[in-house]
Amino acid sequence: MPEQTRSAVSEQVREPANGGTQGEADPPRGSSGTRSEAGTTAVTGDVGRRIAARREELGLSQEDAAVRAGIAVGYLRYLEHRPTAAPGASALIRLADALGTSVAALHGGDVELPPGVGRAAAHSELVELDPEECRARLSTHGVGRIALHTPEGLAVLPVNYSVVDGSVSFRTAPGSAPAMAVGARVAFAVDHIDEALSQGWSVLVRGRGRAVTCPDAVRRLDALAHSRPWAGGAERDLWVRVDEEGISGRRIAVR
């Protein structure tokens, strides 16, 4: 570890004179978690990865996020790059506040919770998004849903996608249900829900699916697409692009 980063980490784990802690050192080797007040170790999962993902979702640099949280940037870099790092309770609370999320979310405790079960916020309103804002939000995510007709009827299927050259593109296996988008009119939707604030947004793209067969275009998608299919199994070497015919979006805002 570079000397500058080591100093920053040491600054965060040092116990202040008032008895509180600015952070905690890593748990002993072989352990993966944070120490509770009772002295036991709780499993945390990959906290650093979730911190980095939330920070990037907000468009914040490590320096910006560290300033917001009141921690050293070297310590934040350490947390994000060290899979077994376990920030102390006070540091994690400050990071959650700075990133507009919760400690539970950074621990991965809300992964299995269904979104949208909370109460609606007071004085909320539905706001239409203009096309440029829709495209900007569309490009920030990597999982969406494509609606199309199948032999069994209308289906809505989740796919990993990327926005390349202004178009939604995803990779699938020939003969699969998502591959039925080729040559058909489809709808593609992506959304984001902020459970804590009872806010969110959604973007809908209407268009026609097209198989990408040009070798140069395929190589470009392979190089630029940031999202890869999460599902294993069959080879997914068919690129499908949705040629946009219309785009719209809405968000829930609190006055």
By the 8 A CB rule, do 46 and 82 touch?
no
User: For 238-247, b where at least 16 C-beta lie within 10 A, e where not — what string?
Assistant: bbbbbebeeb
Tens place of pLDDT per residue across the chain (255 aa):
444 444 444 434 333 333 333 333 333 333 333 333 333 333 334 788 889 888 888 889 999 999 999 999 999 999 888 877 778 888 889 999 999 888 887 877 655 555 555 666 677 788 999 999 999 999 888 899 999 999 999 999 999 999 999 999 999 999 899 999 999 999 999 998 876 667 789 999 999 999 999 999 999 998 887 767 777 666 788 999 999 999 999 998 877
Token pair 């917001």: residue: 68
Strand partners, 148: 155
| Range(s) of the chain covered by CATH 1.10.260.40 | 3-107
Q: Does domain 3-107 have CATH number 1.10.260.40?
A: yes
What is the 3-class SS of 152-185, one letter each residue? CEEEEEEEEEEEECCEEEEEECCCCCHHHHECCE
By the 8 A CB rule, do 171 and 229 touch?
yes
The dihedral region occupied by 91, where left means phi > 0, alpha psi between -120 and 50, and beta the remainder, is alpha
Q: Is 20 exposed, middle or buried (0-12, 13-18, 19+ CB in 10 A)?
A: exposed
In CATH, what class is 124-254? mainly beta
Angle at 114 between CA 86 and CA 161, to 5 degrees: 80
Sign of CA dihedral 170, 175, 177, 181: positive
Q: Is 252 helix (H, G, I), strand (E, B) or coil?
A: strand
Token pair 């940031």: residue: 226
Q: Is the whole-model pTM more than 0.85?
A: no
